[in-house]
């Protein structure tokens, strides 16, 4: 490592104490450097200490955490010696921070324009009119469409990806020397992710801003970071230049992380025979699906004339950017949205007609059992007050499956199916990790023996090791139980690994459809090519990938959509 340091962490140790019990080390003897104009990526599994490190640097550790050893310096400033007044002069102006969860990080009672402009006003960098103008400019820079209009909207009116971009705009408003970004692109589709990463590259080049980038996306770290720090169990296990770490990992742990990352794989799963047209009748058939949302000032097309089929026992991917119509299509499949026109046939059911008509309670119960949904965020999808046992017994009661004597056996079988130990049954959601909770959500969906499972971004928030475990689990369950999957995601690498067939959506329209490997190797539309070109490709692992600063610019999405 050469050059001066902007941020230097020496021997940092952080312990947590819980309810008067013994302290638990979260970070132990960590050394880390971020240089001016460079990006240092910190990677590792959940619980490795990545976010604790970020919170220690920005001075936002919870009261249960204590720094027990080490130093953190920003240039000549000792950050661990700062009091409340000192931190007020550092946060925002010298250190910007992009938190992981946009849903809980924006004031729901404040427009996003005011949220972005707030730092400018607090630090007296602009008057009200100037702050608004700069906020609109920042929103445009992070890729938000119609920024003048969006500035007057509230957080609940924006998608999760848009809210994440608002947080990035607010963090860079004062052009800080150091930006700490904690999973800033995990909720973004690949094209918006590229826009945001390009923006960070531009800011680093223009202002010399350093970036401490916390991520579970090894492809992004490999493509964009100058240096990579690999953490496991709170300890540094490997660090060095990104190209060297990815091309010649020094530890078995780093090698496993790389091998588990879908974005670093190049092979698609061979499609099953049913997926390439050998099934006489598709199990899922969507025909001319159309739905337009009425807003107070305009109409927004959710989906228009969408057609695709899914063979029984196969996996179909629905991919596209935020606002492409993926979730609207998923809601129509699961019966949570009644489209204005079109058919959604699943086996012997037409989900669209069920919504338009007055089906009997028994008929709706049969449909709900046939089609199950697994949400993106298991923390919000599971009742925090219910034990895992109660969570799994509830659908058995709702669908009148089994009786009091047989249900415990069905619950135990469901837990075994997703490889969770039986002693988890008496725990509540807060006592399980994100990956364990996602397994519970899958167990809850499968316990009623559905035929179709719709996964809505079900692995996007998981680190690569847990993600690989979940994808392997889903593949095994599909083969054992003959399940049919529709997999909604913005992660094209995951789709290539798990899906037999793919539909690519853009602004409510289907622009590409076919076998997965055909779509990846011979895309028909310019839009699909744009998506594929935006996938991060670490130069160390791909002869086709150019370094970030030499790679040609990706065509704009408007141009791609027009060409297709």
Instruction: Answer whether residue 533 is part of any domain.
Output: no
Specify if 531 maps to a domain: no
Please give the Cα distance from 24 to 562 (Å, whole number): 55
50, part of any domain: yes
What is the mean pLDDT of the segment spanning 211-216? 92
Whether 368 is covered by a domain: the verdict is: yes
Give the largest CA-CA distance in the chain: 72
CA–CA dist 113, 132 (Å, integer): 7
Q: Are residues 53 and 196 in the same domain?
A: yes
Is 108 found in the same domain as 69?
A: no
pLDDT at 419: 83
H helices of 399-451, where? 407-417, 434-446
* pLDDT recorded at residue 455: 94
User: In this structure, are 289 and 339 located in the same domain?
Assistant: yes
The pLDDT of residue 516: 92
pLDDT at 307: 95
**What is the C-alpha separation between 471 and 485, in angstroms, rounded?**
12
Cα–Cα separations (whole angstroms), residue 291 to 1, 329, 351, 491? 55, 9, 14, 25
| Whether pLDDT at 168 is above 80 | yes
Mean pLDDT of 462-486: 87
Q: Which of 5-9, 137-141, 466-470 has the lowest mean pLDDT?
A: 466-470
Supply the pTM of this predicted model: 0.75
Check residue 252 and give its pLDDT: 93
Can you give the pLDDT at residue 556?
A: 35
Question: Looking at the structure, do residues 20 and 79 belong to the same domain, yes or no?
Answer: yes
**pLDDT tens string 420-440:** 888 899 988 878 877 788 889
How many degrees, rounded to 5, is the angle at CA 500 between CA 339 and CA 519? 85
Q: Where are the alpha helices (DSSP H) in 261-383?
A: 326-334, 351-356, 361-370, 378-381
Assigned domain for 191 exists: yes
Counting the structural domains of the chain, the total is: 3
Predicted confidence at residue 489, as pLDDT, reads: 87
pLDDT at 78: 95
Same domain, 13 and 113: no
Query: Is residue 23 in some structural domain?
Result: yes
Q: Return the pLDDT at 182.
A: 87
Average pLDDT, the chain: 85
Same domain, 364 and 347: yes
Collapsed DSSP state (helix, strand, coil) of residue 387:
coil
Domain end marker among 508, 524, 540: 524
User: Which ranges constitute the DSSP H helices of 235-349?
Assistant: 242-247, 252-260, 326-334
Mean pLDDT for 166-188 is 87
| Per-residue pLDDT at 501 exceeds 80 | yes
DSSP code at position 323: T
Residues 524-548 pLDDT 10s: 999 999 888 888 877 655 544 333 3
Q: How far, in Å, CA of 516 to CA of 524, rounded?
A: 12
CA distances from 390 to 72, 200, 384, 433, 445 (A): 46, 46, 11, 18, 14
Separation of alpha carbons 285 and 430, rounded Å: 39
Summary count for the chain: helices (H), strands (E): 22, 20
Query: Are the beta carbons of 135 and 173 closer than 8 angstroms?
Result: yes
**268 pLDDT higher than 60:** no
pLDDT of residue 62: 86
- Rounded to whole angstroms, the Cα distance separating 96 from 112 reads 17
User: How many other C-beta atoms can be found within 10 angstroms of the C-beta atom of residue 548?
Assistant: 19
Per-residue pLDDT at 413: 93
Question: Are the C-beta atoms of residues 224 and 197 closer than 8 Å to each other?
Answer: yes
Q: What percent of the chain has pLDDT over 90?
A: 48
What's the pLDDT at 183?
83
- What DSSP element (H or E) covers 227? strand 227-232
The CATH number given to whatever domain includes residue 319 is 3.40.50.300
Say if residue 407 is in the same domain as residue 313.
Answer: yes
Average pLDDT of span 151-173 = 85
Distance set, CA 529 to CA 190, 508, 535, 561 (Å): 12, 18, 10, 10
Is 83 inside any structural domain?
yes
The answer to whether residues 361 and 463 belong to one domain is: yes
* For range 150-159, the mean pLDDT: 87
Residue 313's φ and ψ, nearest 5 degrees, are: 80, 10
For residue 317, the number of C-alpha atoms closer than 13 Å in the C-beta half-sphere is 29
One domain, residues 90 and 239: yes
Q: How far is CA 268 from CA 381, 501, 539, in A?
A: 30, 11, 20
**Alpha-carbon gap, residue 193 to 184, rounded angstroms:** 9
CA distance 284 to 311: 7
User: Cα angle at 314 between 450 and 503, to 5 degrees?
Assistant: 110
Domain boundary among 175, 193, 208: 175
The answer on 182 and 169 residing in a single domain is no
What number is the average pLDDT over the span 101-105?
72
DSSP state of 251: S
Domain end, chosen from 159, 175, 191, is at 175
In this predicted model, what pLDDT tens digit does every residue of 387-401 receive, in sequence order?
A: 999 999 999 999 999
Instruction: Check: CB of residue 427 under 8 Å from CB of residue 407.
Output: no
Do 406 and 461 reside in the same domain of the chain? Answer: yes
Identify the residue with better confidence: 561 or 236: 236
pLDDT tens profile 24-50: 899 999 999 999 999 999 998 877 889
pLDDT on residue 533:
85
Range of the domain at 444: 284-524
Q: Are residues 215 and 351 in the same domain?
A: no
Q: Is the pLDDT of residue 273 over 60?
A: no
d(CA 126, CA 246): 44
CB contact set of 190 (below 8 Å; sequence gap of 6+): 490, 491, 492, 531, 534, 535, 536
Residue 561 lies in a domain: no
Q: How far apart are CA 45 and CA 342, in angstroms?
A: 43
Separation of alpha carbons 413 and 411, rounded Å: 5
């Amino acid at each position: 490592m050469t050059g001066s340091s902007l941020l230097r962490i020496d021997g940092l140790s952080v312990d947590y104490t819980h309810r008067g019990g013994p302290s638990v080390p979260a970070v132990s003897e960590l050394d880390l450097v971020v240089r001016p104009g460079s990006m240092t990526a910190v990677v590792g599994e959940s619980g490795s200490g990545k976010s604790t490190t970020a919170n220690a640097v920005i001075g936002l550790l919870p009261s249960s955490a204590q720094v027990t050893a080490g130093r953190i310096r920003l240039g000549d400033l000792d950050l661990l010696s700062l009091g409340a007044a000192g931190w007020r002069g550092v946060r925002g102006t010298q250190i910007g921070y992009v938190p992981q969860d946009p849903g809980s990080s924006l004031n729901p009672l404040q427009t996003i324009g005011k949220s972005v402009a707030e730092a400018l006003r607090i630090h007296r960098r602009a008057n009200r009119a100037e702050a608004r103008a700069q906020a609109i400019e920042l929103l445009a820079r992070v890729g938000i469409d119609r920024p003048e209009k969006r500035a007057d909207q509230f957080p609940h009116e924006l998608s999760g990806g848009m809210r994440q971009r608002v947080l990035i705009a607010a963090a860079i408003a004062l052009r800080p020397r150091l930006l700490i970004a904690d999973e800033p692109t995990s909720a973004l589709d690949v094209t918006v992710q590229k826009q945001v990463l390009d923006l960070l590259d531009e800011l680093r080049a223009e202002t010399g801003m350093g970036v401490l980038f916390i991520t579970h996306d090894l492809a992004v770290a490999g493509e964009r970071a100058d240096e990579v720090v690999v953490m496991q169990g709170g300890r540094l296990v490997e660090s060095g230049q990104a190209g060297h770490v990815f091309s010649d990992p020094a530890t078995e742990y780093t090698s496993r992380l790389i091998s588990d990352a879908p974005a670093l794989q190049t092979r698609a799963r061979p499609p099953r025979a049913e997926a390439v047209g050998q099934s006489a009748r598709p199990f899922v058939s969507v025909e001319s699906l159309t739905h337009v949302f009425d807003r107070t000032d305009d109409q927004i097309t959710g989906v228009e004339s969408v057609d695709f089929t899914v063979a029984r026992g196969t996996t179909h991917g629905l991919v596209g950017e935020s606002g492409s119509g993926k979730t609207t299509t998923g809601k129509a499949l699961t019966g949570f949205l009644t489209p204005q026109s079109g058919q959604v046939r699943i086996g012997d059911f037409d989900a669209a007609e069920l919504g338009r008509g007055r089906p009997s309670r028994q008929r709706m119960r049969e449909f709900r059992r046939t089609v199950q949904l697994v949400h993106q965020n298991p923390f919000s999808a599971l009742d925090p007050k219910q034990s895992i046992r109660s969570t799994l017994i509830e659908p058995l009661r709702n669908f009148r499956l089994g009786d009091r004597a047989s249900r415990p056996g069905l619950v135990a079988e469901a837990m075994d199916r997703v490889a969770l130990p039986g002693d988890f049954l008496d725990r509540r959601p807060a006592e399980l990790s994100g990956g364990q909770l996602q397994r519970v959500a899958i167990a809850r969906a499968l316990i009623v023996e559905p035929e179709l499972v719709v996964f809505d971004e079900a692995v996007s928030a998981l680190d690569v090791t847990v993600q690989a475990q979940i994808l392997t689990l889903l593949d095994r369950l599909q083969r054992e139980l003959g399940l049919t999957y529709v997999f909604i995601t913005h992660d094209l690498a995951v789709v290539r690994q798990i899906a037999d067939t793919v539909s690519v959506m853009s602004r409510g329209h289907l622009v590409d459809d076919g076998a997965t490997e055909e779509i990846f190797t011979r895309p028909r539309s310019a839009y699909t090519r744009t998506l594929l070109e935006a996938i991060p490709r670490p130069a160390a692992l791909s002869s086709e990938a150019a370094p970030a600063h030499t790679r040609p610019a990706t065509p704009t999405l408007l141009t791609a959509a027009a060409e297709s």
